[in-house]
Amino acid sequence: MSVLVNKDTKVLVQGFTGKNGTFHAEQCMAYGTQIVGGVTPGKGGATHLGRPVFNTMNEAVRTTGANASVIFVPAPFVLDSIVEAVDAGIELIVCITEGVPTLDMLKAKRYIETVGGVTLIGPNCPGIITPGECKIGIMPGHIHRRGKIGIISRSGTLTYEAVAQTTKLGLGQTTCIGIGGDPIPGLNHVGALKLFQNDPETEAIVMIGEIGGTAEEEAAEYIQSEVKKPVVGYIAGVTAPKGKRMGHAGAIISGGKGTAEEKFRAFEKAGMAYTRSPAEIGSTMMELLKSKGMA
């Protein structure tokens, strides 16, 4: 078991023939992901990377039976692509694109809520991977190992850090979800926690957050009341100044709210294990598991 994606997941690439779409689709295919085709309006009927290109998502889904899509189109066209994927019946949409206007995301989220049964990951994220089975995104596949830890993170390279550490310690991962660095993400921390709590293979969870918003505080409350599995938390941005955007659109302390200290306090209040060192995410998890007789 794993969450959201496995070896049977059939993926379409939106923005298939573009530079990013091409490069990463190739990498995903090399990893073993079932990329069944892609969409580039106007290039329907062509073949790209040995897979069919379609004009519309509707046609692509009807022909290939795909249930997931990954979006590489430029930011101005992301809302359009999400709506097209939802309308075509896609269940899992992974949006890698960075720089999507916030108001577009409000509409996209509202639309997804209305339709129901659709999970959006991202935008501005590395994607999702179930090691050894399916990689939908831009993360380096080779650092992952199949194992027992579920990883949730708002950041790309910081996720890789947690992945590399858990791999090195032999813990491995069930699924890693990069939920993205935007203020309005699709799947959020709580949603991802719920998935891992219900996944029998996932024995413990690493949750990586950063400054901005209150998603980690809500996640800590959720963990306290609903999550029975061990969780290790980490927050980036202790040294970030107020009012400055730290790279990610969502990483900003505004009106004095959303500081790393507030989030660590929420972890503490929830009785969660956490670390203040990004170098000790893996070892903190190892100690926690040992203390529970799980490693």
Partner 1 sequence: MNLHEYQAKALLAKYGLPVQQGVLAATPEEAAAAFDTLGGKFAVIKAQVHAGGRGKAGGVKVVKSREEATDVTKSLLGTRLVTYQTDALGQPVNSVLVCEDMYPVERELYLGAVVDRGSRRVTFMASTEGGVEIEKVAEETPEKIIKVTVDPLVGMQPCQAREVAFALNLKGEQIAAFTKLMLGAYQAFVDNDFALFEINPLAVRANGALACVDAKIGIDSNALYRHPELSIQRDKSQENERELKASEFDLNYVALEGNIGCMVNGAGLAMATMDIIKLYGGQPANFLDVGGGATKERVIEAFKLILADPSVEGVLINIFGGIVRCDMIAEAIIAAVKEVHVTVPVVVRLEGNNAELGAKLLSESGLKLTPADGLADAAGKIVAAVKA
Q: Which residues are annotated as a binding site for substrate?
A: 160
How near is the Cβ of 94 to partner 1 at its closest, in Å?
A: 16
102 lies in the binding site for partner 1 (CB under 8 A): yes
238 lies in the binding site for partner 1 (CB under 8 A): yes
CA distance 220 to 223: 5
Restricted to residues 56-85, the positions that interact with partner 1 (CB under 8 A) are: 75-76
Range 38-43 contact pairs with CB under 8 angstroms and sequence separation of 24 or more: 38/12, 38/13, 38/14, 39/12, 39/13, 39/14, 39/15, 39/84, 40/15, 40/16, 43/17
Among 7, 32, 63, 106, binds partner 1 (CB under 8 A): 106
Is 189 an annotated catalytic residue?
no
Report how many helices (DSSP H) and strands (DSSP E) the chain contains, helices first: 9, 14
The CA angle 95-96-97, to the nearest 5 degrees, is: 95
List the catalytic residue out of 48, 144, 189, 248.
248
**Kind plus residue range of the DSSP H or E element containing 13:** strand 10-14
Residues making up the chain, counted from first to last:
295
Number of residues that bind partner 1 (CB under 8 A): 65
Among 142, 200, 228, 293, binds partner 1 (CB under 8 A): 142
Q: Which residues bind partner 1 (CB under 8 A)?
A: 27, 75-76, 99-107, 109-110, 114, 138-140, 142-143, 153-161, 164, 181, 183-184, 208, 210-215, 218, 234, 236-241, 243-251, 255-256, 260, 276-280
Q: Which residues are catalytic?
A: 248
